[in-house]
Amino acid sequence: MRFLLLLAVLGVCWAQYDPHTQPGRTSIVHLFEWRWDDIAQECERYLGPNGFGGVQISPPNENVVIHDPSRPWWERYQPISYKLCTRSGNEDEFRDMVKRCNNVGVHIYVDAVVNHMCGNGVNAGTSSTCGSYFNPGSRDFPSVPYSAWDFNDGKCRTNSGDVENYNDVYQVRDCRLVGLLDLALEKDYVRSKIAEYMNHLIDIGVAGFRIDASKHMWPGDMKAFLDKLKNLNTSWFPEGARPFIYQEVIDLGGEPIKSSDYFGNGRVTEFKYGAKLGTVLRKWNGEKMAYLKSWGEGWAFMPSDRALVFVDNHDNQRGHGAGGASILTFWDARLYKMGVGFMLAHPYGFTRVMSSFRWPRYFVNGKDINDWVGPPNENGRIKPVTINPDTTCGNDWVCEHRWHQIRNMVIFRNVVDGQPFTNWWDNGNNQVAFGRGNRGFIIFNNDDWELSSTLQTGLPAGTYCDVISGDKIDNQCTGIKIYVSGDGLAHFKISNTAEDPFIAIHVDAKLHTKLNDSNFQKQ
């Protein structure tokens, strides 16, 4: 009996780290600023069939409407109320999306903005996505309701009321982040209103939450409202399943607030991941891919079972957040595909793929002054995501998750799930390879000369389709073929000028043949 009780307690303790993706699905995608209707369609027509485990959505609650500049993306991070009413859609459309995505095995993770309300400089009125009245000056948000009693104005120790020094943990957690009205999360009323909002989303059927600006909340205050959350909806999740929690904490080292402060509440975003990987693939500061042999905890990252990892996110692809110019994005497509390919092949962390929209970049003194531009729209209404005949997206939606190289690496990660990191090889510079047990193998050439090597793959003998240059269709390869001999060896050749200078093979991309595998020889 004691043993069963211990197991139950351990299950509860670990529950918030489990993304609850269906078996065989190991990655999620951030469909940044997509409409709920488009996400529902994408779950059914693409994400479900291609093995994606879930979608991180943009904040679904009512936000301020910003006219100067015209409807920036960051208005979504200035709440007015917890009504489900944004330019992505209303509550009925939200419910329909959650149901349709869950029904095809793709779960929804909500970007929850609960550290603050809108900025203190916003004018009072009803310029919000649901038309609710609000008055930031008097701290009046009647649609929640919040009043002046519910904010940290009297607790902040700076003259401006904003965070001025990130080495002062009290400022970071008790003062306003860039003027955003900081909620008093030590108050049970505020905690209860946040939990009420999140529980409403759980009732609808979401699987978990990205907690925005977690660094600006005390971990104990977060635990208090997270402890008030319900178990997940049993229409789609097991009895007693707890919401998946991953917290946005920017920790590149050098500040007193650490990612580890938040491990008790759930997983944490590992911002060092994209910053360091970008530096390596750009070959800055003498970094080489050969050094990636110890990638993960060996690079002073957080433990793998606490990490939510990504190459870029909606902030740092615009130069905000962390990583600066080292961050790889869709603007650097060749290196970006290599970075995402490496992430999805490597076992460290729980992986999130980015899906973006284009904006007209304009640099002044090295800074993109158009980094505020919102999603493709007509008169403030988000444009639908259109699909081109080649399955890429139109209407200025980038849809990196639909690039066949990234889609196929999402599938690769599913195929090799649970397999060990094996058969590392490098040339001492920027040609590297590694396997995932006996189910997958990947090799990169980021040097300025051709790669030509015979390597141990660990895979069964046979002919494999490279899933980067093409696909396996009707037992044929549309791209490069790789021959693995009976002893697991295969020869690889990758030009340094190749559009995609990497090759990935896995057991589900192996051709069926009447020949006995022992007939294959080393190439």
pLDDT above 50 (res 519): no
Cα–Cα dist 168/163, whole Å: 9
pLDDT in tens, 318-333: 998 788 999 999 999 9
Cα–Cα dist 373/357, whole Å: 10
Pairing label, strands 481-484, 462-465? antiparallel
pLDDT at 379: 86
User: How high is the mean pLDDT of the chain?
Assistant: 95
pLDDT at 359: 96
Cα–Cα dist 110/98, whole Å: 11
3-17, 324-338, 401-415, 450-464: least confidently modelled range: 3-17
pLDDT in tens, 468-509: 999 999 999 999 999 999 999 999 999 999 999 999 999 999
Calculate Rg over the CA atoms of the chain: 24
- Does 248 qualify as catalytic in the annotation? yes
Percent of the chain with pLDDT over 70: 95
pLDDT above 70 (res 517): no
Q: How confident is the model at residue 14 (pLDDT cuts 50, 70, 90)?
A: low
Q: 5, exposed or middle or buried, with CB in 10 Å at 0-12, 13-18, 19+?
A: exposed
**Could you say which of 212, 261, 270, 447 is catalytic?**
212
Give yes or no for a contact between 506 and 472, defined as CB atoms under 8 angstroms apart. no
pLDDT in tens, 334-353: 999 999 999 999 999 999 99
Please, what sign has the CA dihedral across residues 279, 283, 287, 293?
A: positive
Extended strands (E) in 93-188: 107-112, 116-119, 180-182
Backbone angles phi, psi at 119, to 5 degrees: -70, 150
Q: How confident is the model at residue 15 (pLDDT cuts 50, 70, 90)?
A: confident
pLDDT at 9: 40
**Could you say which of 93, 221, 248, 287 is catalytic?**
248
pLDDT in tens, 19-44: 999 999 999 999 999 999 999 999 99
Average pLDDT for residues 372-394, to the nearest whole number? 95
| Nearest by Cα to 431 from 278, 276, 293, 284 | 293
pLDDT above 90 (res 4): no
pLDDT at 521: 32
pLDDT at 320: 85
- Does 182 qualify as catalytic in the annotation? no
pLDDT at 1: 47
Distances 446 to 11, 281, 443 between C-alpha atoms, Å = 43, 7, 10
Give yes or no for a contact between 30 and 21, defined as CB atoms under 8 angstroms apart. no
pLDDT at 321: 77
- The two tokens of residue 163 are 């965070």
Which pTM does this prediction carry? 0.95
